A and B are shown apart, each in its own frame.
Chain A
Amino acid sequence: MKILVCVSNVPDTTTKITFTDNNTQFNTNGVQFILNPYDEIALARAIELTDGGKGTVTVINVGEANTEATIRKALAIGATDAVRINAKPHDAWYVAYQIAQYVKSNPFDLILTGRESIDYNGSKVAGMLGELLDLPSVSIIKKLDAADTEATVEREIEGGKEVLTIPYPFVAGTAEGVAEPKIPNMRGIMSARTKPLTVVEPVEVKTFSEIISYETPAPRGQVKLIPADDTAKLVELLHTEARVI
């Protein structure tokens, strides 16, 4: 089985988010970038599914040269090879379009993305790839079992879950539960340096969206502390002051 895992390079989860240039630019100063946590789940599952020579795992990233540390991390975790489409990822449409273009000439049995990237939280790439490649897509899956010609996936629905079977090829966005992220070992780190990383130039694509500016949430007021033995007071405040019960 040939699996493609789409990976993005995102600010570390502990990053304090700030902006510059009158709130029009994300401040990358001092920010460490990491492999998107949901993509780690996709990658871990892809490696499990191809374990013992049952296939290959290619990771693909749309990004400029500075994302290579993240790509090498994916190789160290166990991907077979990597592709970097050499461009600044303008938005989800841009990313999906570039990847779809690549897949059209390099087909895969299974394409995995994370359910969303933790920077813009779009969960759009999986669905857009599905549409651009005319393949089924499931945007958020909690479980993925692979048989020879089809896979069984579980997806979350409001207040429950749904079990689906899907013939290959298809696209799925992975969430918690699909696999435990893997930590690279020494051998992985050493071999990552020599694994193939192909750089592909982007194709022209129209753009549909532009980030104009950013806002930070309004600061919250001071916490009102209530004595531990006066829970009735809390209930009263929630009713009369906060008006939420």
Chain B
Amino acid sequence: MSVLIYAENTGGKFKKSVFEAVSYARAIADQNNTSLTAVSIGNVDAAELASLGKYGANKVLNVSGDKLKDFVNQAYASVIAEAAKKEGSAVVVLSNTFSGRGLAPRVGVKLDAGVADGAVALPVQDGGSFKIKKTAFSGKAFAIVDLTSAIKVIALVPNSYKVVETGGTAQVEDFSVETKASDFKAMIKEIVRSTDKVSLPDAEIVVSGGRGLKGPENWGMIEELAELLGAATACSKPVSDAGWRPHSEHVGQTGIAVSPNLYIAVGISGAIQHLAGVSSSKVIVVINKDPEAPFFKVADYGIVGDAFEVLPKLIAAVKEYKASA
């Protein structure tokens, strides 16, 4: 057997979530005394591909060419499944990203494999069982799932496993797969990337605003703080419902679940549905003028105060800290 990790690229580059997934897959390979192969699809240059060796990949299968330049769910799933077959992989690791969530179930069906999505820890293997801790009830709990199939597919939540440098090197090999026309029925018309913004699902710091900010015209403060911290911006559901911010920023039970190192919530009450998607953040800072706001019960640090007074001061304090650092 071997372990396979799908290394998803964004515009030809690997992000931190990929290095986390490679490190995680390396640890599974070590548990089983086996090798780790990465598969990359799309046009990624040789140096970038080889960099996966630093995190423990022994080999990188490179699938390139114009047809597979951009993410096509069906075709990419076929390639990953073929790579797993070629390598005799018993475990396939992906990132639990937007693309990963489309791929994992398709790869699982192709390989007759059980799929553990939302994985947050290494599998515990003993006496043939393969137990994975995954998020459940939108972050209100975890479920321990035993994958009983011969092949296992795991989708790892970004920010839930640390990057480990092994300092190894990887052999890069070209790999090609016969693609079926039916894999390309869905056609990409347009890709719009807001390159200047940190992407929310894998952000390490998130600055989030709620209805307490009163209106979209006040988001400048949130954006300024986020930019200073290299953070992504987010919001509560009523904020996106009101159209103050796009739906893609809405976090919580019915929005995006995030697990950054730092979550700063400004003018958000901390309703159970909001907490459901943010409570696995490592450190939570809450700014709210109501000392009884439920969010203070789960916060690590809190400031009871008016956002319109506190935020400008906090921005100034961060600027000062950065100037002195």
Residues of A within 8 A of B (CB): 11, 13-17, 19, 37-38, 91-93, 96, 118-128, 130-132, 134, 136-140, 142, 152, 155-167, 170, 175-177, 207-217, 220-221, 223-229, 231-232, 234-239, 242, 244-245
| Contact across chains for A220 and B313 when beta carbons are under 8 A apart | no
Which residue of B106, B261, B297 has the most chain A CB atoms within 10 A of its CB atom?
Answer: B106
| Contact across chains for A164 and B199 when beta carbons are under 8 A apart | no
Q: Give the distance in Å from the alpha carbon of A118 to the alpha carbon of B191 in the complex.
A: 29
Q: Which of B130-159 contact A (CB under 8 A)?
A: 131, 133, 135-149
Partner of A214, one of B142, B199, B298, B302: B142
**B96-133 near A? 1/0 per residue, CB < 8 Å:** 01110111111011101111111000000000010101
| Contact across chains for B201 and A162 when beta carbons are under 8 A apart | no
> Secondary structure of the B side of the interface?
mixed
| Contact across chains for A158 and B110 when beta carbons are under 8 A apart | no
Q: Does B176 sit within 8 A of A, measured CB to CB?
A: no
A187 to chain B, nearest CB (A): 26
| Contact across chains for B304 and A139 when beta carbons are under 8 A apart | no
A–B complex contacts, Cβ < 8 Å, 7 sampled: A122-B118, A176-B254, A212-B129, A214-B143, A217-B142, A226-B303, A244-B283
Q: Give the distance in Å from the alpha carbon of A80 to the alpha carbon of B227 in the complex.
A: 49
| Contact across chains for B195 and A163 when beta carbons are under 8 A apart | no
Q: Give the distance in Å from the alpha carbon of A143 to the alpha carbon of B194 in the complex.
A: 18
Q: Give the distance in Å from the alpha carbon of A14 to the alpha carbon of B272 in the complex.
A: 6
Residues of B within 8 A of A (CB): 10, 15, 70-71, 73-74, 77, 97-99, 101-106, 108-110, 112-118, 129, 131, 133, 135-149, 182, 185-195, 197-199, 201-202, 204-205, 229, 240, 247-248, 250, 253-255, 257, 261-262, 272-273, 276, 279-280, 282-286, 296-306, 309-310, 313-314, 316-318, 320-321
* CB-CB nearest in chain B for A160: B193
| Contact across chains for B142 and A159 when beta carbons are under 8 A apart | no
Chain B residues whose C-beta falls within 8 Å of the C-beta of A139 in the assembled complex: 73, 98, 101-102, 105
| Contact across chains for A120 and B136 when beta carbons are under 8 A apart | yes
The 6 A-B pairs of least Cβ separation, nearest first, read A127-B105, A228-B305, A208-B114, A159-B199, A160-B193, A131-B109
Chain B residues whose C-beta falls within 8 Å of the C-beta of A210 in the assembled complex: 145-146, 148
Q: Give the distance in Å from the alpha carbon of A223 to the alpha carbon of B296 in the complex.
A: 6
| Contact across chains for A235 and B101 when beta carbons are under 8 A apart | no
A-B contact count (CB 8 A): 289
| Contact across chains for B144 and A127 when beta carbons are under 8 A apart | no
| Contact across chains for B192 and A245 when beta carbons are under 8 A apart | no
| Contact across chains for B115 and A155 when beta carbons are under 8 A apart | no
| Contact across chains for A232 and B136 when beta carbons are under 8 A apart | no
Q: Give the distance in Å from the alpha carbon of A91 to the alpha carbon of B149 in the complex.
A: 13
* CB-CB nearest in chain A for B313: A231
Chain A residues whose C-beta falls within 8 Å of the C-beta of B10 in the assembled complex: 158-159
| Contact across chains for B141 and A17 when beta carbons are under 8 A apart | yes
B15 to chain A, nearest CB (A): 7
B141 to chain A, nearest CB (A): 5
B113 to chain A, nearest CB (A): 7
Q: Give the distance in Å from the alpha carbon of A150 to the alpha carbon of B129 in the complex.
A: 44
| Contact across chains for B148 and A213 when beta carbons are under 8 A apart | no
Partner of A176, one of B77, B240, B300, B318: B240
Starting from the known contacts A160-B193, A231-B310, A234-B301, 7 additional A-B residue pairs (CB-CB under 8 Å) come to A19-B141, A126-B105, A159-B197, A170-B186, A217-B279, A224-B301, A239-B321
B122 to chain A, nearest CB (A): 15
Which residue of B98, B257, B317 has the most chain A CB atoms within 10 A of its CB atom?
Answer: B98
* CB-CB nearest in chain B for A162: B191
Q: Give the distance in Å from the alpha carbon of A224 to the alpha carbon of B142 in the complex.
A: 27
Partner of A140, one of B98, B280, B318: B98
B293 to chain A, nearest CB (A): 11
| Contact across chains for B201 and A121 when beta carbons are under 8 A apart | no
Q: Give the distance in Å from the alpha carbon of A164 to the alpha carbon of B299 in the complex.
A: 40
Chain A residues whose C-beta falls within 8 Å of the C-beta of B194 in the assembled complex: 159-160
